[in-house]
Amino acid sequence: MRAYDLIQKKRDGGTLTRQEIEWWVEGVARRTIPDEQVAAWAMAVFFRGMDARETADLTRAMAFSGGTVDLSDVPGIKVDKHSTGGVGDTTTLVLAPLVAAAGIPVAKLSGRGLGHTGGTLDKLESFPGFRVELGREAFTRQVREIGIAVAGQTADLVPADKRLYALRDVTATVDSIPLIAASIMSKKIAGGADAIVLDVKVGSGALMKTLDRALELARLMVDIGRQLDRRVVAVVTDMNQPLGRAVGNALEVREAILTLKGQGPAQLTELCLTLGGYMAWLGGKAPDPQAGRALVARHLQAGDGLAVLRRLVAAQGGDPRAVDDPDLLPQARYREVFTAPRPGYLVAMDARAVGTAAMVLGAGRTRKDDVIDLAAGLVMRKRLGERVEAGEPLVELHFNDPARLEAAREWLERAFTLAEEPAPVPPLIHAVVG
Ligand code: URA
Ligand code: CA
């Protein structure tokens, strides 16, 4: 086989065979196909697409392009959860301990990544001393012993995706539904998941800006699961504003703790119960998603998720006292408010601009080696649909570096649309596929 021929075939709208896709992915992982050909192929896929069978073949080939996590000595159905990414997405920090409390083994491999805030790993490092590098043995042992571990992905996992994603990132080919679906699903499968609950975000702060595209991605990932014998449910959820109030690393940890105490923001709590319900169902702990939700809600009320979080933090070397006294988490030296320039109803938010404001304050990375300021970020004071008066705070800014304040304010100035008449607020949950 020749790389040139496969690029040409896809460029001309052909369908690649399973053999061709396997050959291609091996060449990507082993670096026998050079960057320019991988990039050209990604562009051909961007324009021509892939059908469901091709996408499943790509997912399988990528999932097994390197090492995989073997969770067979952890008893029970391993249910993983993945979010396609949003702004101020505190869900994992709440959901992982909560479903572990319901008896679902949580063996979570997370990333850091680029974005408005750090990834789950960065957030957990807000607990002084928390270690995210666990060896394979220690990782599975901890899941067996306390029901939960959250660690960094080892370097050998899904090398084909690592290389392809890096090339897509610089060639304007990230935004391809089959490539996104294969990228996400291959990592979940390599991570040892038996079943997967996907949180597909849609809106101004998400990769998918329209419901049609979000549904297309959701359906494709559910179909990949069917072809690869993994049960998958995709919940399409709103990302036209941050889910909770916090956008930042330690700020989101604080919010997660509050939520596990039953005092969290309504929308964040609601989404965690919904996703948790599907996880409990797929994990065999409940006869249907509604019963799963009730089970997870009982554990929330009993404070069991909070107890699991304490155990998780202690097991990975962090200071569990911070769970009971969040003032021990990193806190920024300075706080300011961003106020409404005039009265009106908050009818639209550019959640990406809000996220960028948090990143500018130091909460996220623009380059892989940027250092995150765990204390920096935003606390949202208003939600879509609310009425605000001139001079009322819309956002609280938390920062250590005053030199960054002006740029953050400029992003916030673009982020809010105030109008004289109220507008309908998008629902939290748009659809469930699976
Ligand atoms: N997240 C991923 O992991 N991969 C993509 O391609 C896009 C979002
Ligand atoms: Ca996330």
Give the integer Cα–Cα distance in Å for 244 and 205: 13
Ligand 1, atom 6: closest residue by C-alpha:
180
Give the integer Cα–Cα distance in Å for 110 and 174: 20
Q: Active site residue: 82, 245, 299, 310, which one?
A: 82
CATH number of 330-419: 3.90.1170.30
The tens digit of pLDDT for each residue in 283-341 reads 999 999 999 999 999 999 999 999 999 999 999 999 999 999 999 999 999 999 999 99
The predicted structure's pLDDT at residue 368: 79
The tens digit of pLDDT for each residue in 372-399 reads 999 999 999 999 999 999 999 999 999 9
Edge-to-edge strand list for the sheet holding 429-433:
79-83, 195-202, 231-238, 429-433
The predicted structure's pLDDT at residue 115: 81
Residue 154 pLDDT greater than 90, yes or no: no
Query: Token pair for residue 31?
Result: 């670096």
Please state which architecture CATH assigns to domain 79-324: 3-Layer(aba) Sandwich (3.40)
pTM beyond cutoff 0.90: yes
The predicted structure's pLDDT at residue 280: 98
Query: Token pair for residue 350?
Result: 């550019």
For residue 366, what pLDDT band results from cuts at 50, 70 and 90? confident
Q: Say how many Å lie between the CA of residue 62 and the centre of ligand 2.
A: 21
Residue 96 CA from chain centroid, whole number? 12
What H or E segment, with its residue span, contains residue 295? Answer: helix 289-301
Where along the chain do its domains lie?
3-49, 79-324, 330-419
Would you say 325 and 389 are in contact if contact means Cβ atoms under 8 Å apart?
A: no
Q: Active site residue: 10, 168, 231, 245, which one?
A: 168
161 is catalytic: yes
Residue ranges lining ligand 1, Cβ < 6 Å:
84, 165, 174, 179-180, 183-184
Residue 66 pLDDT greater than 90, yes or no: yes
State which fold the 3-49 domain adopts: 1.20.970
Between these two residues, 217 and 136, which has the higher pLDDT value?
Answer: 217
Query: Token pair for residue 34?
Result: 């050079």
Query: Token pair for residue 43?
Result: 């562009």
| Secondary structure letter of residue 133 according to DSSP | -
Between these two residues, 279 and 156, which has the higher pLDDT value?
Answer: 279
Which ligand neighbours the alpha carbon of 252 most closely?
Answer: 2
The tens digit of pLDDT for each residue in 347-363 reads 999 999 999 999 999 99
Pairing relationship of beta strands 387-388 and 344-349 according to DSSP bridges: antiparallel
Whether 330-419 and 79-324 are alike in CATH topology: the answer is: no
For residue 150, what pLDDT band results from cuts at 50, 70 and 90? very high
Give the integer Cα–Cα distance in Å for 329 and 321: 10
Give just the sign of the alpha carbon dihedral 309, 311, 316, 319. Answer: positive
Give the distance between the most distant pair of CA atoms in the chain.
66
288 is catalytic: no
Asked which of 30-34, 152-156, 238-242 is least confident by mean pLDDT, the reply is: 152-156
In terms of C-beta density within 10 A (0-12 exposed, 13-18 middle, 19 or more buried), how is residue 325 classed? exposed
The predicted structure's pLDDT at residue 155: 79
Pairing relationship of beta strands 393-399 and 148-152 according to DSSP bridges: unpaired
Query: Token pair for residue 272?
Result: 């965690």
Contacts 24+ apart (CB under 8 A), 324-328: 326/253, 326/254, 326/257, 326/258, 328/128
Give the integer Cα–Cα distance in Å for 402 and 19: 56
Mean pLDDT of the chain: 96
The predicted structure's pLDDT at residue 39: 98
Q: Say how many Å lie between the CA of residue 119 and the centre of ligand 2.
A: 6
| CA distance readout (Å), 93 to 69, 123, 320, 383 | 22, 8, 15, 22
For residue 160, what pLDDT band results from cuts at 50, 70 and 90? very high
